[in-house]
Every structure is written in structure tokens, then in C-alpha cells.
Amino acid sequence: MKVLVTGGLGFIGSHTVVELQNEGYEVVIIDNLSNSSEDVLKGITAITGKTPLFEKIDLREKSAVRDFFKKHNDVTGVIHFAASKAVGESVEQPLLYYENNISSLVYLLQELQQKPEASFIFSSSCTVYGQAEKMPITEDAPVQTAMSPYGNTKQMGEEIITDTAKVTNISAILLRYFNPVGAHETAEIGELPLGVPQNLVPFITQTGVGLRQELSVFGNDYPTPDGTAVRDYIHVVDLAKAHVIALQRLFNKKNAAKVETFNLGTGKGSSVLEVIHSFEKVSGKKLPYKMMPRREGDITEAYANTDKANNVLGWKAELSLDEAMASAWKWEQKVRNK
């Protein structure tokens, strides 16, 4: 079966391509390389022994999307990662986020609705819950007013998919991730942001390797045990495996509804300082950091109730925060020593 992975050279996308190929799927990747590199194909090939098909396409170009589906008319499943994803940047450049994250989704669905049936996995986010009133967060928690344009694009994306699935042959699973971290154990692929990292862990590892002078911790006055913000950090390999299980659920017609939603996390919250201390433990390095004011759009805490993913989807996070930090550190060192 041929599966399209959009954004398949990105951080989560590349790890998911590996897991798909390990399960015997034929994979075709679409990526515009705006936040990734074609070199990632070598890493995927090194791990799996097989090079996926790759098409350099910008999904904002409607005609290019149409041409892709004419060429690859045997695609039966789509895992859609391609999107801009930094909260802070989205506050500064909202139109970039609305164009990139919404129009690309619409163009994909327009092509898929012409098929007799299609399975669609959407890369969503726990940002749709905003600052949830209760922890841990279940899938039934109310979707709050988004605190950033990025979060809003994920909410809108879910609504667009739900509306479309009602009147087409598309079945979908919305996967709301918490905070993906780590790298493949081989250190052949990992998180490689272009420019200054927007996420905590790559900033930590880049500081550890000497690329950054020090880490900024945004906010030490949150109502949490150590004053820093709390998130649910999930190993990217665990996350990738969940996408394969979700796709198989749709292929095997095990889904209980046209659109299903699952939280993907570990069920445990870790503060920024706990992540720093985990890195220091696995690397043996002391990390220089300074406290800074809170950032606009950041919430106090978010961690998942994973019961539905565990019991209904049949997936569970297996890897620890220390294992994630160790793999991220191994990857960072390899990247810098190339």
C-alpha cells in the first residue's frame, strides 16, 4: 500500500517514514524543504535499507498538489505533517501560518475526496486545549480559544477535516500530540531546526554542544512545583509508531467513527528545569541557563490523559524522558561532528 507523508523529511515525519517502511509500506514523501533537508533521505535509507520516493512540492501550490495525485493515483493513505509549528513565530507572522497550515490542508482534502475512499491522519496538537482547566487532559476537554495563530490553525484544521469527512469517503484520525522530543537510537535522523531553535530540547542540546551561549528559560513564576512551565515530553519514536497504528486502524476499518481523536503523550508532566536536569544527568554536562520573562502564548501546564490511546488505539508510550534526552544528545553530537 502506498502512503503519502507530507512534511516527511521533518522531525516527526522522518521518524514516521522509518516506522512505515519497517512495517512494509511503500512511502512517498512531499516536502518543500522549508524547515528540513534532503539529506534526511540518507538517514531514512541507512536505518531501513530502503529509500522512500520524494517529491519536492510546496502544498500551497494547488496545481502541484493536483499533479502529484495524478502521478501517484494509488495513494490510499495520507499522514499530514507539513505545517509551520512555532507558537512565537505564529504570533509575529499570523498570515504565514494561515496560508501554510490551512490552504495546504484544503488542497490535499480536495484531491482525496475524489477517491472512492481515503484514510487521513492529521498531525494535531495539544495546543487546541489552550490552558485546560483540569489535568491530565482528556480528549473530551473543551477546545479553548486558541492562544496563538499556530494553535488556531490546528483547531481550524480539525474542523475542516471533520466537516469534510461528514460528506465524503475520507475517514480520519486526529492525533493531538503533546511535546515530541528525542531522536532515532541510531542517530541517523533527529530534530534539526534551521536557524535558532523554537523548541526547548534542540536549544538545550545546541547549548550543550557549545553552539548557543546559554539557554533562556521563559518564566519562573508559574504556579508549578519549581515555577517553570510543565509539559508532557514524548519520545518521537513512540509518537511515530502511533501514526502507523492509527493508519492501520483506518485501513482495517476498526475506527468507531468517521473522525476519531486521540491524545499522544506519556501521561506525565515535566517542568523545564526537570528537562534541563535530565539532560545534565545523561550528558554529564552542566547547562548554562538564565531566567527570562514569560513568552506570550505560553501556557502553565499541559499533560495528557492517555487512557483512550492506550485502550482504544492500542498504543502506549514506552520510552522515558532520560532516554529521549540521551538520544537527542547523541544526535546533536553526530550533527556537529560531521
Question: Partners of 6 in the beta sheet?
Answer: 30, 80
Is 303 annotated in the active site? no
Q: Which member of 150, 177, 222, 303 is catalytic?
A: 150
CB of 189 within 8 A of CB of 14?
yes
Contacts with 39 (C-beta within 8 Å, 6 or more apart), sequence order: none
User: Cα separation of 208 and 287, whole Å?
Assistant: 6
The strand order across the sheet containing 301-302 reads 270-271, 230-231, 301-302
- Backbone torsions φ then ψ of 108, nearest 5 degrees: -65, -50
Sign of CA dihedral 34, 36, 37, 38: negative
Query: What is the distance, to the nearest Å, from the Cα of residue 153 to the centroid of all Cα atoms in its chain?
Result: 14
User: Cα separation of 143 and 128, whole Å?
Assistant: 5
User: Cα separation of 113 and 118, whole Å?
Assistant: 8
Contacts with 244 (C-beta within 8 Å, 6 or more apart), sequence order: 16, 19, 20, 23, 25
For 314, the 3-state DSSP assignment is coil
Question: Half-sphere exposure (CA, 13 Å, Cβ side) for 279?
Answer: 30
Parallel, antiparallel or unpaired: strands 230-231 and 301-302 = parallel
Nine cell digits for residue 148: 496563538
Catalytic positions are 150
